[in-house]
Amino acid sequence: MASVTYQNVWKKFGDVVALQDLNLEIEDKEFLVLVGPSGCGKTTALRCLAGLEEITEGSVFIGETKVNDVAPKDRDIAMVFQSYALYPHMTVFDNMAFGLKLRKVPKQEIKKLVEEAAEILGIEGLLNRKPRELSGGQRQRVAVGRAIVRQPKVFLFDEPLSNLDAKLRVQTRAQISKLHQRLQTTFIYVTHDQVEAMTMANRIAVMNHGVLQQLDSPQKLYDYPDNMFVAGFIGSPSMNFFKGKIVREDDALYVDLDSFKIRIPDERRAPYESIVDHEIVFGIRPEDIHNPDFAPPSIIAEPVEAKVDVTELMGNEIFLYLVNGEHNFVARVDPRTRVEMGDNLKVVFNMQNMHIFDSMANPDNPVAVR
């Protein structure tokens, strides 16, 4: 078991910067997820830790040991890739045992370790099969089992569920979470799927363009994003954004969005006094936009007129794609709502859960004002 530390890590491929001054501390036994869009540097960070990429600057530690110059095989890590990378001519048992045989582990110990891992993963009845006789989910569990038998200090997962169908992904991510609880080992997991990140992680590191944007628990990332990128990436459907400015009228503060204006609750106005007349981005999540007939009674509701562009009935909820002036936004409303495309509808914004990002601080990625 071990902690992992990235200390001022840079990785460059020629003129392309894949990691930019990454500082990240991952605690012993933690389940940390690196998440972000394609090309954000998350897999590069994992490969630098595994020793599959040489870092350009900085240091990587596993526990107290600096591993920059340690060979991958000596880092005491195990990696599960997106591709299963199983030997087609070997049985499941031999695939799982292969690394142990190379390390000259005694046969009885190999048998014990493989059977224990197979029991944990529920594949004890598959040990004599070849990979071609397995489903995708079973092959993925064999790949995870091959990592488990090594009993490493750190497990690395590089988008291991990408090749599975939606139902199997849900089942397998639950199995990986249970596996972490059982093994009590450090897990570092890379994905572009924020649902995977939210459901599995103790903490999430959100990355973009090689830069760590925010590191926190899933709920805090959802409730208190540091910037517009994190706010838009975490949550599904993603947060709605409206460009506008803060204005003062009759000793009250409003968000002026051109085609409509909404009042900031008095109890939340203090942080925004200093940015009156600033260009800002107003953010609100689809689940905080309600049909007023079914809105929770405790919210601070601001009414907004909109036209229904598209409706998506999901069974337990309805997604409404709405238009007001130049603004397009999504509401996640009660399934009892009865509207059709083209209808005019009054919705209410829950202003207790609004977000405001200051464009003047960083036009490319406005920062949260709290």
Task: Give me the pLDDT at residue 24, please.
Answer: 97
Beta bridge partners of 213: none
- Interval 128-175: pLDDT, tens: 999 999 988 888 889 888 888 888 999 999 988 887 788 878 888 888
Question: What residue ranges of the chain are covered by domains with CATH 2.40.50.140?
Answer: 240-369
Residue 273, φ and ψ in degrees, nearest 5: -60, -35
Cα separation, 132 vs 138, in Å, equals 10
Task: Give me the pLDDT at residue 175, please.
Answer: 85
Cis peptide before 237 (omega within 30 of 0): yes
Binning pLDDT at 50, 70 and 90, where does residue 1 land? low
> Considering only the top CATH level, what class is 240-369?
mainly beta
- Interval 122-131: pLDDT, tens: 888 999 999 9
- Which of these ranges, 81-90, 104-113, 298-307, has the smallest mean pLDDT? 81-90
| Average pLDDT score over residue span 206-223 | 97
Instruction: Indicate the SS3 state at residue 330.
Output: strand
Q: Contact, 187 vs 32, CB < 8 A? A: yes
- Interval 330-368: pLDDT, tens: 999 999 999 999 999 999 999 999 999 999 878 899 999
Cα separation, 235 vs 231, in Å, equals 8
Q: pTM of the entire structure?
A: 0.91
| Average pLDDT score over residue span 5-25 | 96
- Interval 34-68: pLDDT, tens: 999 999 999 999 999 999 999 999 999 999 999 99
Question: What residue ranges of the chain are covered by domains with CATH 3.40.50.300?
Answer: 4-233
Q: Is the pLDDT of residue 112 over 70?
A: yes
- E strand or H helix that includes residue 171: helix 166-183
Which amino acid, one-letter code, is at 248?
A: R
| Average pLDDT score over residue span 85-111 | 90
Cα separation, 47 vs 44, in Å, equals 5
Burial of 230 (0-12, 13-18, 19+ CB in 10 A): buried
- Which of these ranges, 82-86, 101-105, 138-142, 307-311, has the smallest mean pLDDT? 82-86
Q: Which CATH architecture does the domain made up of 4-233 adopt?
A: 3-Layer(aba) Sandwich (3.40)
Q: Contact, 347 vs 289, CB < 8 A? A: yes
